[in-house]
Amino acid sequence: METHLNNIYRPTQPLHERNVYLLPGSHCSSTHQSPINIDKNNAVPDSHLDAFVFKHFDDNHAIKYITNTGHSMKCVLVENLVEESGGGLGHDYTILQFHFHWGDTSDTSEGSEHTVDSKRYPMEMHIVSKRKDLTLDEALQAPDGLAMLGVFIEVKPGEVKLLTVVYILLENLTSYLSKIHNISTTVMVTYEISIDDLLGNVNRHDYYRYSGSLTTPLCNQAVVWTVFKEPVNVDLNLIKMFPKQTGYFNVYRPTQPLPVATGPVNLHSVLFDLSYVFCCWHASVSILYNLDL
């Protein structure tokens, strides 16, 4: 059955003395949840956050298939091919998939999960990876079992079509959306598209870092988050394709509160004791098991 749904919710109803129970195993009400609002004034320079090493991000056959998850679309990669390390991660990670979060079809739609100084971008891309030395089950239980790269997607005027090949490649990617209207529908990717292609000229040496969680249940607090400062610039019509073709609108989790600091606020406690406080690095200047993730 095709999905063309919008505002499919009933207003909240009174409890009438009923009890509310947490989903078994859920971490969604825990204290280190994602996404968050990144306050640039509170970002702390950390010289331990060095440059990333990306392996096979340029492989234009790495995307295996695209699937309709029931609330978004997910691009699954060839197993054990694309990898990342460095960037202060401490382990080697293998890329599992990437997916997108978006808003509605309006010209001013906002759909990113993370915000920066309370600014929400039109879209956000999440590149999901797992520690190579752990199984997926083990990774979900480790504080650094998963690593996420968050990339904001911004609307720029029509000249973007002429200035970069990102437009053409993302257009190729969105062309598959019309083939996965049904939930759990999968389509094999035949276009030659690499992750490097989709990221374009985004500065990957300039990013925010914090420890957080998955943004879908069970919200495991197992994620080392990297959020790049610089967005990918695309045409508005491409962004509108995601809600139009999938029938899914406003597919993002609201920002979650930061934990309260209980210890002394000094450089050491900020950088190491409070793992949720974000850090940033710039060049050599040293600074359900529903695994849709």
**125 in Cβ contact with 111 (< 8 Å):** no
Annotated catalytic residue within 71, 91, 181, 282: 71
* Cα–Cα dist 224/147, whole Å: 5
268 is catalytic: no
- What are the strands of the beta sheet with 119-120, ordered from one edge? 37-38, 115-116, 119-120
C-alpha distances out from residue 14 to 17, 21, 73, 204, 208, Å: 9, 15, 34, 47, 40
Positions marked catalytic: 71
